[in-house]
Amino acid sequence: MASSQFSLPPSLEASRIAGLPPSAYYIADFISEEEEQKILEKVERAPKARWRQLTHRRLQTWPSDLVKNTLLDGQPLPAWLEEPIISRLLSVPVLPSSSDSSGDEKEKQQQQHIFADSPHGRPNHVLINEYPPNTGIMPHKDGAAYHPVVCTVSLGSSLCLNLYKAKEDGALDSEPVWRILQEPRSLLITTADLYTEYLHGIDPLSADVNMSERTIANWSLLREPSLYQNGENQRGVRVSLTYRDVLKVSKLGSKLGPMFNRRP
Ligand SMILES: O=C(O)CCC(=O)C(=O)O
């Protein structure tokens, strides 16, 4: 049954996408419908200068663009991108706590969240992408600027993310190795090998087709698989929030003052 409330698993392990290389997690109801609406309003009301228009897609970067893979320290993320998403993200341990834990150290490790090993212990950067139907993003890797943990919250509409394996010669198979369906209000986390070894992309389609338990890696974790019983997902406008920890943060931004790297 569809839920308008958020619902978190006891640990990410309970939301692991089976069959994918280590590690990907999918939480269908990461935020509530009300929270989704509030964030969509904030995205929509951002000053025009915040948007960067690409050929088919537009995007916002918060708190600012990277300069040579570096975040110029100066402004924090705005409150509406921090709460509730980041605190909720950090509240879910990666592993379940076991009843026979012996000693504090083991207990501590089990309670660690997904950004525990990242340089800043939390995401410090958010990319907002808007995908009307028939738009997507070319297969790519996210590169060296970020700690290899990517948390994507989807808003507004569902679509499929494709994962590709690059061949030895760098060429790409035209068919993805896996597809992950991202429902509105869901959180997808990809890490480790999925970050470094595989490419991800979104086909520019009006509808995702041929979807089933066999072809969609996270089918068993979907909120409402019954919506896609005919194998199709008609796309609406999907907005994604991609949370990452930028490895290099320069103090230069704060020294030069807020006017330097400020977007409105
Ligand atoms: O919107 C998404 O889910 C993917 C975004 C993405 O791949 C990127 O910004 O690098």
- Residues within 6 Å of ligand 1 by CB: 127, 129, 137, 142, 152, 161, 200, 240, 242
Q: How far apart are CA 176 and CA 165, in angstroms?
A: 8
Residues 6+ apart with CB under 8 A from 193: 21, 22
Q: How far apart are CA 110 and CA 227, in angstroms?
A: 36
Answer with the residue of higher pLDDT: 255 or 215.
Answer: 215
Phi, psi values for residue 223, rounded to 5° = -70, -45
pLDDT digits (tens, 9 = 90+) for 158-175: 999 999 998 777 788 889
pLDDT digits (tens, 9 = 90+) for 172-224: 888 999 999 999 999 999 999 899 899 999 999 999 999 999 999 999 999 99
Q: How far apart are CA 179 and CA 30, in angstroms?
A: 20
Atom in ligand 1 nearest the alpha carbon of residue 182: 3
Segment holding 126, helix H or strand E: strand 125-131
Question: Which protein residue has the closest C-alpha to ligand 1 atom 3?
Answer: 240
**59 confidence band (pLDDT: 50, 70, 90):** very high
Domain boundaries, the chain: 12-96+103-255
Dihedral sign computed on CA atoms, order 12, 18, 23, 27: negative
Task: Please give the DSSP secondary-structure letter assigned to residue 90.
Answer: H
CA of 129 to the centre of ligand 1 (A): 7
- Residue 44 scores a pLDDT above 70: yes
Residue-level pLDDT at 171? 81
C-alpha distances in Å from residue 18, one per residue of 15, 60, 153, 202, 249: 9, 32, 20, 21, 35
For the chain, what is the mean pLDDT? 91
pLDDT digits (tens, 9 = 90+) for 66-90: 999 999 977 899 999 999 999 999 9
CA of 8 to the centre of ligand 1 (A): 23
Indicate the class that CATH gives domain 12-96+103-255. Answer: mainly beta
Residue-level pLDDT at 103? 58
By C-alpha distance, which of 73, 135, 98 is closest to 11?
A: 98
**111 confidence band (pLDDT: 50, 70, 90):** confident
CA of 219 to the centre of ligand 1 (A): 20
Residue-level pLDDT at 93? 97
Percentage of the chain surpassing pLDDT 70? Answer: 90
